[in-house]
Structure formats: C-alpha cells, structure tokens
C-alpha cells in the first residue's frame, strides 16, 4: 500500500507539478515527498541557446545564467559549474533548452523553452543499478515574440521555470522536515530519492529519428515531435544512432 502510493505520487510529481497546489491531492498525499527533489545538495545550471541567432548577445545569456544561479544560492543550494555533477548522488543538473527561430519576412521570433532536471536515480528492483534520469520540469509551447520583446520574454520564461523548480524543491524539503519530526527520524537518515522509483516509470535518454531523414534528435526537439509514428526510429544511445548512419540535429544538439 505504501509502495503503491509512492508510485502514484511519483507519476503525479513527474508529470503534473501542479499536484501540490491542488487541495484534495495534497490532503490525500499528506507527507508524501517528491523523490526527485530529495537530498539535493549541489546544483548546476546549463542554458542552451542557438548561438547562430545573433540578435541576443553572448553577454545576455551569461547575465541570465548568473541571475538564475543567484536565486538558487539564495535558496541555500550550492551552485557548481561541474559538468559531471550528476555523478554525485546529491548533485542535480538543470538544463534549460532555448530554441529560437526567426520567422521569415516578419519581425517575429518563434521561441520554445524546455527545462529538465537530470540526476541519479536508483531502480527499486533490488539491484543497485543507477540511472541518470532526465525529468521534465517545464515545457512551454511555441510563443511568437517580436524582436524588441525577445530578451524580456525569454528572461521571464526561464525565471519562471527556475521558480517552479525552487517551489517543488522547497515544498519537498518542508514536507520532509515535517515527516521526520513526526516519525522522530533525523534528517540525515532520509532515504535515497529513488527508492520509490519503479522501472516502469524510468525514462531513458532515448534518441529519435525519422526513417526519411539522416538527422537524429532528442525526444523533446520540435523536429522530433513532427515525426509520425510509422516513420519514427528510436536509439538507446548516441553511438547507436551514429552507427545507424544518422547525424546529430543542429537545433537540439543530441
Ligand atoms: Zn533536433
């Protein structure tokens, strides 16, 4: 029964981050924490952007990153620039992927921003196999923005995504503290985050290509989303895709 509710909460947590704000869900799942937000100690932030779209300068992206890192620090997280942060059990990488396209013959840009968090998860299969999962945080649909609104629009969206992460992180932290106070466990005895994760909920880092194209993508790429079911090929690794004769997409950099 306990396991069942953990799984349900994991699904709710990973795919519907609004669950905490819904009164009835909150009551039914009182003191259930979100496993992916537990035991976070160190965090790194990566903002991916199309450097060929030169309307926003490199300094804009650097400032945007610094601003968001500042918010993470204010929430008492250690911010690191370590690229291998997910090699640590308490390390989380947040990846903000900004896709940007100039609309031909119009002073408009199409903008799509997706934010994921990557961290180690242990499979609850009795083995100690560790998997680095990429968990969707916020996916924003395509927005059309004029050139003079572009910098503010991207900053507001990215800032909103980081705020969403911090709300979930802080909600889990305070639920954990309440739970520990009630059960008399010290915070140090907190379970590893992934114990509630079942293999069926694991999303591997798979790559996607069309039978009719030489390019492969991350599943979240806008080009990948246009591939119909019958033409869709998937690969479990980058090497597998390359060995099959595909090359990486220039938009999503798989
Ligand atoms: Zn792509």
pLDDT of residue 94: 94
Edge-to-edge strand order for the sheet containing 215-217? 232-235, 207-210, 215-217, 247-248
Distance 218 CA to ligand 1 centre (A): 6
In the numeric block, which tokens belong to residue 92? 């989380």
Distance 254 CA to ligand 1 centre (A): 7
Distance 222 CA to ligand 1 centre (A): 7
Distance 208 CA to ligand 1 centre (A): 9
DSSP H or E segment with residue 67: helix 58-74
In the numeric block, which tokens belong to residue 249? 């997409």
Distance 80 CA to ligand 1 centre (A): 28
Q: Residue 198, exposed/middle/buried by CB under 10 A (0-12, 13-18, 19+)?
A: middle
pLDDT digits (tens, 9 = 90+) for 76-132: 899 998 878 887 888 899 999 999 999 998 889 999 999 999 988 766 666 666 777
CB 85 within 8 A of CB 42: yes
DSSP string, 197-216: --GGG-----EEEETT-SEE
Distance 191 CA to ligand 1 centre (A): 37
Distance 210 CA to ligand 1 centre (A): 11
Distance 99 CA to ligand 1 centre (A): 10
In the numeric block, which tokens belong to residue 195? 């114990």
Distance 225 CA to ligand 1 centre (A): 9
> Can you list the residues of the chain whose pLDDT is less than 50?
1-31, 187-203
Distance 13 CA to ligand 1 centre (A): 27
The residue behind tokens 């938009």 is 251
Distance 69 CA to ligand 1 centre (A): 27
pLDDT digits (tens, 9 = 90+) for 204-215: 568 899 988 899
CB 122 within 8 A of CB 90: no
What is the pTM for the complete model shown?
0.59
Distance 198 CA to ligand 1 centre (A): 29
Q: How far apart are CA 15 and CA 38, in angstroms?
A: 17
CA-nearest of 59, 38, 55 to 47 is: 59
Distance 241 CA to ligand 1 centre (A): 13
In the numeric block, which tokens belong to residue 201? 């909920």
Distance 217 CA to ligand 1 centre (A): 4
pLDDT of residue 12: 36
Q: Residue 191, exposed/middle/buried by CB under 10 A (0-12, 13-18, 19+)?
A: middle
pLDDT of residue 215: 92
Distance 229 CA to ligand 1 centre (A): 16
Distance 68 CA to ligand 1 centre (A): 26
Q: How far apart are CA 139 and CA 22, in angstroms?
A: 20
CB 173 within 8 A of CB 181: no
CB neighbour list of residue 231: distance below 8 Å, 6 or more residues apart: 210, 211, 212
């Amino acid at each position: 029964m306990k396991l069942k509710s953990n799984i349900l909460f994991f699904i709710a947590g990973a795919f519907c981050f609004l669950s905490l704000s819904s009164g009835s869900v909150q009551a039914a799942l009182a003191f259930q924490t979100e496993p992916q937000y537990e035991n976070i100690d160190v965090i790194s932030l990566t903002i991916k952007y199309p450097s060929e779209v030169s309307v926003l300068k490199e300094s804009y992206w650097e400032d945007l990153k610094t601003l968001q890192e500042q918010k993470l620090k204010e929430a008492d997280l250690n911010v690191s620039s370590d690229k291998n942060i997910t090699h640590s059990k308490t390390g989380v990488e947040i990846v903000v992927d900004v896709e940007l396209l100039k609309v031909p013959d119009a002073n408009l840009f199409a903008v799509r921003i997706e934010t994921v968090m990557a961290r180690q998860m242990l499979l609850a299969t009795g083995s100690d196999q560790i998997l680095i999962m990429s968990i969707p945080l916020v996916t924003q649909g395509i927005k059309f923005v004029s050139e003079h609104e572009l910098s503010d629009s991207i900053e507001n969206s990215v800032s909103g995504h980081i705020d969403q992460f911090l709300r979930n992180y802080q909600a889990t932290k305070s639920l954990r503290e309440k739970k520990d106070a009630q059960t008399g466990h010290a915070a140090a005895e907190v379970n590893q985050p992934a114990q509630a994760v079942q293999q069926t909920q694991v999303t591997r880092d798979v790559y996607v290509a069309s039978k009719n194209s030489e390019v492969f993508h991350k599943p979240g790429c806008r080009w990948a989303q246009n591939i119909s079911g019958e033409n869709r090929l998937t690969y479990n690794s980058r090497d597998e895709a390359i060995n099959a004769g595909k090359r990486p997409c220039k938009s999503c950099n798989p």
